[in-house]
A and B are shown apart, each in its own frame.
Chain A
Amino acid sequence: MTLTPSDDTLINRARKGDQNAFRELLERHQQMVARTVAGMLGASADVDDLVQEVFIRFYKTLDRFRGDAACSTYLTRIAINASLDALRRRKRMRSRFISRDDETVILPEPGFHDTETDRFDRTELINLAMNKLKPHHRAVVVLRLVDGYSTAEAARILGIPQGTVLSRLSRATARLRGILGPILAEED
Chain B
Amino acid sequence: MNQLPSSTSKDNNQHLHSLLRETAEINAVSGMQPFLADRIMRRIQTLNQPEEQLWQTLWLAFRPVALASALLILGFVSYNASVSRNYEVEPTPTEVVFGLQPLTLTTAYSANLDEFLLTTP
Residues on the A chain within 8 Å of B23, using CB: 39, 123, 126-127, 130
Residue contact A38 to B27, C-beta cutoff 8 Å = yes
Q: How large is the interface on A (under 10, 10 to 19, 20 to 34, 35 or more residues)?
A: 35 or more
Q: Which of A43, A45, A55, A141 contacts B20 (CB 8 A)?
A: A141
Residues on the A chain within 8 Å of B43, using CB: 52, 56
Residue contact B44 to A35, C-beta cutoff 8 Å = no
B30 touches A (CB below 8 Å) = yes
Which A1-56 residues have C-beta < 8 A from chain B?
Answer: 19, 22-23, 26-27, 30-31, 34-39, 41-48, 51-52, 55-56
Q: Give the total of B residues in contact with A, Cβ under 8 Å.
A: 29
Q: How far does the alpha carbon of A39 sit from the alpha carbon of B24 in the complex, in Å?
A: 5
Residues on the A chain within 8 Å of B36, using CB: 30, 48, 51-52
Q: How far does the alpha carbon of A133 sit from the alpha carbon of B53 in the complex, in Å?
A: 44
Q: How far does the alpha carbon of A26 sit from the alpha carbon of B36 in the complex, in Å?
A: 9
A98 touches B (CB below 8 Å) = no
Residue contact B27 to A47, C-beta cutoff 8 Å = yes
Q: How far does the alpha carbon of A59 sit from the alpha carbon of B44 in the complex, in Å?
A: 8
A173 touches B (CB below 8 Å) = yes
Q: How far does the alpha carbon of A22 sit from the alpha carbon of B39 in the complex, in Å?
A: 13
A118 touches B (CB below 8 Å) = no
B2 to chain A, nearest CB (A): 19
Residue contact B39 to A38, C-beta cutoff 8 Å = no
Residue contact A180 to B40, C-beta cutoff 8 Å = no
Residues on the A chain within 8 Å of B27, using CB: 38-39, 41-44, 47, 123, 127
A184 touches B (CB below 8 Å) = yes
B69 touches A (CB below 8 Å) = no
Interface residue stretch chosen among B8-16, B79-87, B99-107: B8-16
Residue contact B31 to A34, C-beta cutoff 8 Å = yes
Residues on the B chain within 8 Å of A41, using CB: 27, 31
B48 to chain A, nearest CB (A): 9
Residue contact B40 to A56, C-beta cutoff 8 Å = yes
Beta-carbon nearest neighbor of B41 in chain A = A23
